[in-house]
Structure formats: C-alpha cells, structure tokens
Structure 1
C-alpha cells in the first residue's frame, strides 16, 4: 500500500486528510485484510472537522513526512470521521475508557487485524513533552 485512499471519500473531514503523506485507509474490511496480510497493527485515528486538537495533530504529525513515514512503515492507518461513523467512535471510545484512559478527540487506538483494541489514547504530539 503506497497511497492515501481518502480522495474518493465524501466526508469533508476525511477529504481534509487526502493529501497527507500518511497512507490513510477509510474504515472497511479492505484495511483490516491488509493488516492481517502484512501482520501490521492498525493505527485508528477518529476525529471530526470542528475538533481543534484533531487539526493540531494533523498539522504536527500527519502532514509531517518523517512521522508519516514511521506510521506507514509500522501500521495500517485508518482515518474515521466520528460524525459519519458514530458507531465506530462509540465502540473505541468505550474501549479506551475500559483501558483506564481519559477519552477525547482525536481518538487514537491501536488495533489488531481483527479490529480488537490493545492500546490507545487521544492527542499524541510528535515529540514527548512534559509540563
């Protein structure tokens, strides 16, 4: 997979990410089949158009060729608009809270090839910083 697959989506939020260097997949069975085929975990990013921190993470990480390169090497990356797929958002927000983490957006979850979550969080900056 060497491309971003969001260009044919209808969600304005997903279309905002169509030019990212991240090789985004939309939510669907093809992405999970790719994860199983390659043995890579899924990085699921859930957000929405009016989310401030979603835009910050997009600018700092998803538009950064170095960060995108690491993401592309290590994960099958799936982007979801929570306004288009509230069911997906609800499932993984509940999973994040079951993992003992605080919820919010952007929601970042790490899944296996069968869509089972094993870790997650919200906003991840490209460099760790502690206040």
Structure 2
C-alpha cells in the first residue's frame, strides 16, 4: 500500500503489514457496517442473512487485525483472541466475566491504535512506506 490504500488488500488478505491510520479507518468502517446491519435488519431476515454477513465481517476483521498485528511484530493469530473478546462484549458487556473481554479490547486498542509499528523489516516483511511521488513511466 502506498499513499492510496488498497482496500481489497486490507480487507481480504491477512498477509503483510498494515499501518495505523488504514487500520483505524478499516475498524471504523467495519463497526459502522455491523451496527448498521444490526439496526436495519431484524427478525427472520436477520436469521437468513446473518449466515453470510457475520462471517464476512468476521473474516474482514481478522484480516485487518492480522495486518496491524504483523506491523507490531505479533502473530496474526492474536486476532482470534481480540475477535472473541469483541463477540463477548458486543453490543454491551453483561456477564461477570465480560471484564476479561473488555480488558483484552482495551489492550488491543492501546497496542494497535496508539503504538507505532516496528521500524525496519520484521518476520512479516518490510514496513509500508507512504510515497506521494508519481511513478516514473
């Protein structure tokens, strides 16, 4: 990804590294899509379409999280822990043990949105550089 974000790469591929700002934008897009779907679709239609919509949102979330985790030098498999915590507390924490999910989400928020990615190459590749120059043809 350069100055222009490759959205299909961001949402549908878990390989490589992802920068902070595209991660935040993608997270907001996924949360808005989830909230919109749950507020608009109800009843039997939700039972039918939920079998498609929820797995797609879950997969896209796993890809976006994996890229950002790779940028921080962590395995993309940590996205499973974050997504399970999210499912535990969505739309609001109710049970006694939901504080574990909230703690995981607070850690993920601080680590993935506020902390910079690793400098230089790590085991997931080179960092994404933003270039504003036009390619020479």
TM-score bucket of the superposed structures, by smaller chain: under 0.3
User: TM-score, normalised on structure 1?
Assistant: 0.25
User: TM-score, normalised on structure 2?
Assistant: 0.24
Structure number with the higher helix fraction is 2
Q: Which has the higher contact order (CA 8 A, sep 6+)?
A: 2
Structure index of larger Rg: 2
